[in-house]
Structure 1
Amino acid sequence: MQLTKFTDLGLRVMMRLAVAPGGGGLTTGQVADEMSIPYTHTTKVVLRLKELGMVEARRGRGGGLNITEKARTTSVGWLTRQLEGNDEVVTCEGTTPCPLRHGCRLRGALRRAQDAFYSTLDDITVDDLVREPDARVLLSLSVRPAQQA
């Protein structure tokens, strides 16, 4: 199973905000630059995280992105499900349905594997992801040397 880029970016944004002093204060642009993510993608991810109650976003002076307390203790499995969606691993229906769809065990086996994947992440929180030494690495992103033009 492979996560979508959207989910990957969402988890990385959460990790970066989790180690920021005071839980954030970074702008979307800063997070995008530090994580080497296109700004437009970061904006979409932040909007979804805000809808889920994981991030607070304030505009203007003293604004920025802040991780919520709810987000710190949220299961990575739950967050991944919300970002990824709960679609089937394979699509057996559609414009060209699979001729094996009525007697195939693959679809059920893949669904069970997907459920096992998510349940493995259910025991991990966002805070778990940013324990040392990961926190140090994430914090070092904000002090990268300026790139030469």
Structure 2
Amino acid sequence: MIISTKGRYALKLMMYLAKKNSAEFVPLKFISAQQNIPLKYLESITTILSKKKLVEATSGKGGGYRLSRSPETYSVGEILRAVEESIEPVTCIENGVPVCETAESCSTLPIWKGLSAVINDYLNAITLADAAKL
């Protein structure tokens, strides 16, 4: 498992928004400059996060983005799963469940399932509020 640039930038964006006033919409151009994230990446990421209802957008002059909920209600795992294809350690597991046709006879599957649980438990235990304080 490798977290992509999209995943890293999504988490960085969400942490930035968590540190801002929750009522304030922040323009992407401002976030791009402040966080050194290319504007095109932010546009792609916010489209995904908006569809998943993790951020809210406002349009028009002064438009921007803000969190949809309080930072305490998000987990880092939720954010990464929203933008990544998978955060599983191997391709034969999806969302902690084996998807391989040879799963019943796979001697290494317990290892991968255990690692998946450790990764997901760890990422799910960190709230966005916690991450924004780090």
| Residue aligning to 1:6 | 6
SS in 1 for 2:56: strand
Question: In structure 2, how many angstroms separate the alpha carbons of the residues matched to 1:118 and 1:88?
Answer: 8
In structure 1, runs of 5+ residues without a counterpart are 93-99, 135-149
The CA RMSD measured in Å over matched residues stands at 2.6
- Are 1:75 and 2:52 an aligned pair? no
Question: In structure 1, how many angstroms separate the alpha carbons of the residues matched to 2:49 and 2:23?
Answer: 15
**How has the CA–CA distance of structure 1 residues 121 and 90 changed in structure 2, closer, same or farther, with 3 Å as cutoff?**
closer
Question: In structure 2, how many angstroms separate the alpha carbons of the residues matched to 1:49 and 1:72?
Answer: 17
Greater Rg by CA: 1
- Are 1:128 and 2:119 an aligned pair? no
CA contact (8 A) 1:71 1:126 kept: yes
Question: In structure 2, how many angstroms separate the alpha carbons of the residues matched to 1:109 and 1:128?
Answer: 29
- Using the size of structure 1 for normalisation, the TM-score is 0.69
**How has the CA–CA distance of structure 1 residues 107 and 41 changed in structure 2, closer, same or farther, with 3 Å as cutoff?**
farther
CA contact (8 A) 1:18 1:24 kept: no
Map Cα deviations across residues 34-88 of structure 1 (whole Å, 9 max, x no partner).
1111111111111111111111111113421111225541222222222223365
- Are 1:114 and 2:125 an aligned pair? no
Structure 1, 16-25 or 27-36: larger mean CA deviation: 16-25
In structure 2, runs of 5+ residues without a counterpart are 93-101
Percent identity at matched positions? Answer: 25
| Residue aligning to 1:84 | 84
